[in-house]
Amino acid sequence: MLLIDQYKPKKTQDIIGQDSAINELKSCIKSKKPVILLGKSGTGKTSSVYALAKELNYEIVESNSGEIRNKEGIINFLGSASSQQSLFYNGKLILIDEIEGFAGNADRGGLNAITDIIKESSFPVILTCNDEQSKNFSSLKKFCKVISFEPLAYKVLFEFLKDVSRKESLNIKEDLLKSLAIKSNGDARAALIDLEFFRYKEFSDTNFLSRDMSQDIDNALKVLFKSKNPKDISNVFDSLQEDLDEISLWIEENCPKEYNGEALASCFDSLSKADVFNGRIIKRQYYRFLVYRRIFMSLGVGLAKKEKKPGQVVYSRNSRILKKWIWNNKNLRKKSISEKLGKVTHTSSKKAFKEFNFYKPLLKERDFINELELNEDEIEWINKN
């Protein structure tokens, strides 16, 4: 079992360095006040909610921005839960994780739906936020009490790592443990992930460690593409903070560097199936399919190989989205004119775009330009092209 799972807090006493915040949260839960837990990843926000819920015998209904993207999804998932009594518990907690992840979705009513749930829920509503600069935090904090989970002091993390090291008989020197504590930047989860390396190999320093996301996903991809252990592969994404959309792009970009032939075909087959399940999650709100998406992206991709490719590979982020953005901007005027052409010629904008060259001579005619109601930018583009 990974250290991050083995030492996952099960009760409030297991959560280090946040006694004041936990007591404050407990008071808000009992008085049913809505709360925003503010703090960096790995400081114990979500763990505190689950530990308190267990101690108070409360049921938790949880969602996060990666699972629910719009007003309908939030209402369907949380609306009824915020009003129905729990059958087997003393009460219920509504937990919405990582509210900053709703950025860009405000126009679809996501934040408004959350606000309505906060106002109308008969149970305590708890939100978590990693970023104080998030606009979502500013808009929601006027309805909630803000409880800050401060980054853990390196001395607190050092004592924690020292205790774990002793229990696991790792025999790591104290100066290395102090360096690990400092590099983790107040993140207990990150500290345990780093300590995991020392279970399998001796290191004389910690210079190979970084809190850079690209480094974290680089390590995950190495396990995914190089390991043949199903247990390691199935848990490969658990320590990453990035959502599955981002991880999928990394896999898509880098699997041709590691696989070829049947293994590559099997890898892309698994990615395509994961994408099918993701489409059903988005379109039909079937969130139970999330587990199948994860299985195809982890075990499906990782076990596609018969043998691992020798040597080191430099992984890179997917460039397809950037290329698509460049193409869209390059063809922005052409697309807008094609939409107008489609309406006038009673065809689809896609067909008009495909047959654009046939319409070019007409686009020089003033009467046709007036009928299409082209703007100055579109006319200028036509004259240049």
Residue 383, pLDDT score: 80
Q: Specify whether 356 is located in the same domain as 316.
A: no
In-domain check, residue 1: no
Q: Yes or no: say if 38 and 251 are a contact pair by the CB < 8 Å rule.
A: no
Provide the residue range defining the domain that includes 203. 152-210
CATH number, position 68: 3.40.50.300
Mark whether 206 and 216 lie in a shared domain. no
Q: Mind listing the pLDDT tens digit for each residue in 210-237? A: 444 445 787 788 889 988 888 888 888 8
Give the bridge partners for 165, in sequence order: none
In a shared domain, residues 51 and 128: yes
Nearest C-alpha neighbor of 328 from the set 341, 338, 318:
338
- Residues 79, 189 share a domain: no
Q: What is the mean pLDDT of each run of 10 residues along the chain (385 residues)?
A: 83 92 94 91 90 92 62 68 72 84 54 80 87 78 90 89 90 85 82 77 56 62 86 80 82 90 93 91 81 91 87 71 60 84 86 85 81 81 78
In a domain, 379, yes or no: yes
Report d(CA 314, CA 218) in Å as an integer.
8
Q: Is 361 within a domain?
A: yes
Same domain, 339 and 317: no
CB neighbour list of residue 151: distance below 8 Å, 6 or more residues apart: 39, 40, 43, 185, 186, 187
Point out the domain boundary residue: 304, 322, 340: 322
Among 117, 148, 179, the domain-final residue is 148
Q: Which of 113, 129, 148 is the last residue of a domain?
A: 148
- 134 with 41, same domain? yes
- The three-point CA angle 334-340-346 to 5° equals 125
Based on the fold, state whether residues 134 and 68 are members of the same structural domain. Answer: yes
Same domain, yes or no: 158 and 101: no
Cβ contacts of residue 10 below 8 Å, gap of 6+? Answer: 51, 54
Mean pLDDT, the chain, whole residue set: 81
Question: Do both 99 and 49 map to the same domain?
Answer: yes
Are 142 and 23 contained in the same domain? yes
In a domain, 9, yes or no: no
The tens digit of pLDDT for each residue in 271-309 reads 999 999 998 888 877 777 888 899 999 999 999 998 888
Distance in angstroms (rounded) separating the CA atoms of residues 22 and 48: 7
